[in-house]
Amino acid sequence: MGKFNFIKTEIDGVYVIEPTVYGDARGYFCETYNEREFAENGLVYTFVQDNQSSSVKGVLRGLHFQKTRPQAKLVRVISGEVLDVAVDLRKGSPTYGKWVSAVLSGENKRQLMIPRGFAHGFYVLGEHAEFCYKCDEFYHPEDEGGIIWNDPDINVDWQLDGKPVLSEKDKKHPSLRECGAEFDL
């Protein structure tokens, strides 16, 4: 038996991943990534960059993507809780413009595997969240793209508790129609 449970979502290629957690009175241990097991489940990636962010309650980051150098991301929360969202931007996909979400927390240890060709964002549900993600492409600031978080055509249910806290950049992203983001993958 493997150390991970790979759960398909409604959008092809996006998986919720549950690690096996070994715990006792001292605490716990779990693997968060195993190249062999991921590959055996069709998730073949070479990760080149790890990122971590810290956010307070109500922060919404996203929806982000890179225009010409798309990134696959394996995301997780090490403390706190977020609603993590992926929006399909793959040209010709039957789910283009659709979104899928998962609650990720330090407690449930779930991860979301997001392939290339998606916009990504998250909203902090708890008081604070430490968010980690592996990327299979380096970050290129000149290649940043985004879609406004509240695009009515996408209509993400962010489970908001009040007005979200946004960066100035995230307040100014265009709609999906305006930016026309599509990835040939």
Distance separating alpha carbons of residues 103 and 86, to the nearest angstrom? 12
Structure tokens that stand for 171 in this block: 């307040």
**99-105: strand order across its sheet:** 99-105, 81-88, 118-124, 60-66, 144-146
Task: Mention every residue, 6+ apart, whose C-beta is less than 8 A from residue 150.
Answer: 156
End-to-end CA separation in angstroms for the chain = 32
Residue 128 falls in the annotated catalytic set:
no
Q: What is the DSSP letter of 90?
A: B
Out of 15, 45, 64, 123, the active site residue is: 64
Cβ neighbours around 37 below 10 Å, total? 16
Q: Which amino acid is at 101?
A: S
The helix/strand/coil state of 69 is: coil
Rg (CA), the chain: 16
Concerning whether 64 is annotated as a catalytic residue, the answer is yes
**Cα dihedral sign for 63, 84, 66, 132?**
positive
Among candidate residues 15, 45, 123, 133, the one labeled active-site is 133
* Residues annotated as catalytic (active site), given as ranges: 64, 133
